Chains A and B, each alone.
Chain A
Amino acid sequence: MSGIIEIIFAEFNYWIYVTLMMIGFYAMIAKKNLIKKVIGANIFQTAIFLFYISLAEVKGGTAPILLHGHDGADAAHKAVSEVIYVNPLPHVLILTAIVVAVSTTAVALALIIKIYEEYGSLEEDVILAYRRQLQPEFSEHARQKQEGEQ
């Protein structure tokens, strides 16, 4: 029993990261509302960021900011070699990824506004039903193509 608790709490960040990723994935697949899908995508992205930041962590490390770097060669050498820092490389990767995440969200929301202007609804099933009603020959063509493949 204590072994299981140790396994769970030793890598707790990773358990949470997988849980959040699955919550976001579920929202992207199962929710019919388009805004809910974008919220799910946001949760999925931040879960991946959490994984990278957890990867960078060093036990007992401080923030990767160089102090006393300009106080002469001895002090600078001491600041680099004697202080433990967390790994700054994943931080830089994620800094870029956050900006990309915001721009993808902005594009998705712009498309949602256009879809709402066209169809008057944000529900996926309503939009699909409207499309089928609008273009019956389109869905008929798709059905025939599917039957032909079989």
Chain B
Amino acid sequence: MIWILDITLLLFLVVCAIAAISIKDLLSAVIILSAYSLIMAIVWVEMQSVDVGFTEAAVGAGITTVLFIATLARTEGRSED
């Protein structure tokens, strides 16, 4: 574990989480959530848990984003808060 890379990735994770919940456009929020999942996958591979890392990259960053975008296509893409 390289500690400077670890700390940078974890801080970026917090920035992504705050951006995902505070942005008003829902499609942007979902794409930022996908980036959040991808950074989380990188953190896990870096922490030597490779199996969880690639499951998160495929399922968390892939399928979850597809489900969210399919929902947004059937509903509205704007949020009040």
| A31-B21, A35-B26 given; A102·B71 CB < 8 A | no
Task: Give the interface residue-count category, chain A.
Answer: 35 or more
Task: Give the interface residue-count category, chain B.
Answer: 35 or more
Residues of chain A having any CB pair with chain B under 8 Å: 9, 12-13, 16, 19-20, 23-24, 26-27, 31-33, 35-36, 38-40, 42-43, 46, 49-50, 53-54, 56-57, 61-65, 86, 91, 94-95, 98-99, 101-102, 105-106, 109, 112-113, 116, 121-123
**Interchain CB contact under 8 A, A43 and B17:** yes
CA distance A86 to B44 in the complex (A): 12
Q: Top 5 closest A-B pairs, CB basis?
A: A33-B79, A27-B21, A116-B75, A16-B10, A109-B71
Residues of chain B having any CB pair with chain A under 8 Å: 1, 3, 6-7, 10-11, 13-14, 17-18, 20-21, 26, 29-30, 33, 36-37, 40, 43-44, 47-52, 55-56, 59-60, 63-64, 67-68, 70-72, 74-76, 79-81
